[in-house]
Chains A and B, each alone.
Chain A
Amino acid sequence: MTWLRDHFGEVLSLTVQHIYLAGVPLILGLLIALPLGWLARRYRGLYPVLIIGTGLLYTIPSLALFIMLPVLLGTHVLDRTNVLIAMTIYTVALLVRTVADGLGAVPDAVNQSATAMGYKRGRRFVSVELPLAVPVISAGLRVAAVSNVSIVSVAALIGVQQLGSLFTDGFSRAFVEPILVGVVACVLLALLFDGVILGVTFLATPWLRAGKASG
């Protein structure tokens, strides 16, 4: 592992890039998916449209999307922004269905009693439905996070610097160590993201904790 010792700083900076490229879309994607998912539930007709639409987007292979976006958006092919937007699209595609299903999992009785108590729709969404949908949404978010970390590495093929660059560098120089380090780093990073989301979910759902403690 001499290679790692010698290039630790480089690996670290690539990791930071990777976190940025995988993490920001997660947050952006969630923020976009929440209203879309809510709309899908609110207007029944919209559900199949949104699901099929986002399903189509998810079907497009990552490299293809990284390349097609600059064409559509007019940005330069090697611009990092393409990757950010592509990853956000993937995240939204994954999460819209999860958000819709998560909101759907909130028991009808709860919604109705909230309305009967005088909650208006928007307030009810934020104070009642969303918190109760957190477990389902969080599960989807974890899947999205892990996928994102993995997919971002493909962007090395279009020259965007992140952990995936260790793969391409290693390959072009016939060194296996950078590739190994890169793979391990990706997996660890994915675990990290997973853990953080789990932690936040744990903190955000005290009622689930209380049940377990007293059970």
Chain B
Amino acid sequence: MINNIFAWLTDGAHWQGYDGIPRRLLEHLAYSFTALLIAALIAIPLGLYIGHTGRGRFLVVNAVGAARAIPSLGLLFLAFFWLGPRLSGDIAFLAPAGLVLVVLAIPPILSGAYAGVEGVDPDARDAAKGMGMRGSQVLRHVEFPCALPLIMSGVRSGMLQVIATATIAAVLGLGGLGRFLIDGLATQDFSQTASGAILVAVLALVVDLALALVQRSVVSRGLTGRYRPVETFNPDAGATPSAPALQQNA
């Protein structure tokens, strides 16, 4: 079995053309990044707003839980039945799939943004306001940077969700690496299916790694604690007195 897979993956024919690995890979990346971007553009500002003002907490907490319970496959089909008939051509399956990809990516990002802002040190917020920062400045200069670790973690979660759902969406006729899995299953060509599975798994891992590197470069080191440990200078430790028997009253 492994040999068959290896043979399939190394077969030159599978690397060219309309149905080739590079094309499918790029399609998959395109769907995933587009959906993630749209989801982030909606969810990050919304999460920041909810975290900053405290309004709509109920919405966030429950939306995330609810979204996790909805089966992505079922949602894809429902979206298809709802939108498909109203549209024609390629959009008929691209739109429902795209919609579902975005909808499923929003909750983890929303949750991350909200939790991130909520977790900002209230003293830092108070000091920022007391120093004369307006609300928007507090958000931009203090809350957003401090929320970044959790925002990034939500984005990574969302990305995984999107890549996985895009794989399944091949059932609707979408391109991407999922095509290999679905087509292989349909034709009982298990080497194709398994190869597709491996490609998707590798893609997911590589993209997650890339996002992890982005996270590392974007999040302030003061928050993650990744600085060289240095000896603390302690001006508060008094100098050792030279006359131990008699103590000066300062």
Interface residues of A, Cβ cutoff 8 Å to B: 56, 58-68, 71, 74, 77, 143, 146-147, 149-150, 153-154, 156-158, 163-164, 166-168, 170-171, 176, 179-180, 182-183, 186-187, 190-191
Known: A180-B78, A183-B75. A61 touches B194 (CB 8 A): no
What number of B residues sit within 8 Å (CB to CB) of A?
38
Q: Quick one: given A179-B74, A180-B78, A183-B74, are A63 and B168 in contact (CB under 8 Å)?
A: yes
Q: Mark contacts of B67-92 with chain A using CB atoms, 8 A cut-off: 1 yes-contact digit, 0 otherwise.
A: 01111111101101100000000000
Contact between chains at B181 and A67 (CB < 8 Å):
yes
Which B residues are CB-close (under 8 A) to A171? 77, 80, 171
Pairwise interchain contact A186-B70, C-beta atoms closer than 8 A: yes
A61-B204, A187-B70 given. 14 additional CB < 8 A pairs?
Answer: A58-B160, A59-B201, A60-B201, A61-B164, A63-B181, A64-B181, A71-B1, A143-B68, A146-B69, A150-B71, A157-B171, A158-B185, A176-B78, A190-B68
List residues of B whose CB falls within 8 A of some A CB: 1-2, 5, 65-66, 68-75, 77-78, 80-81, 160, 163-164, 167-168, 171, 178, 181-182, 185, 190, 193-194, 196-198, 200-201, 204-205, 208
Pick the 4 closest A-B CB pairs, nearest first: A61-B164, A190-B69, A64-B197, A153-B71
Give the residues in chain B near A62, CB-CB below 8 Å.
164
Given A56-B205, A176-B81 in contact, is the A164-B68 Cβ separation under 8 Å? Answer: no
Question: Given A63, A163, A187, A190, which contacts B178 in the complex, CB threshold below 8 Å?
Answer: A63
Contact A77–B74 (Cβ < 8 Å): no
Least Cβ–Cβ distance between A80 and chain B, in angstroms: 16
On whether the beta carbons of B81 and A179 are closer than 8 Å, the reply is yes
What is the CA–CA distance of A151 and B194 in the complex, to the nearest angstrom? 19
A131 CB → nearest B CB, Å: 25
Which secondary structure characterizes the binding site on chain B?
A: helix
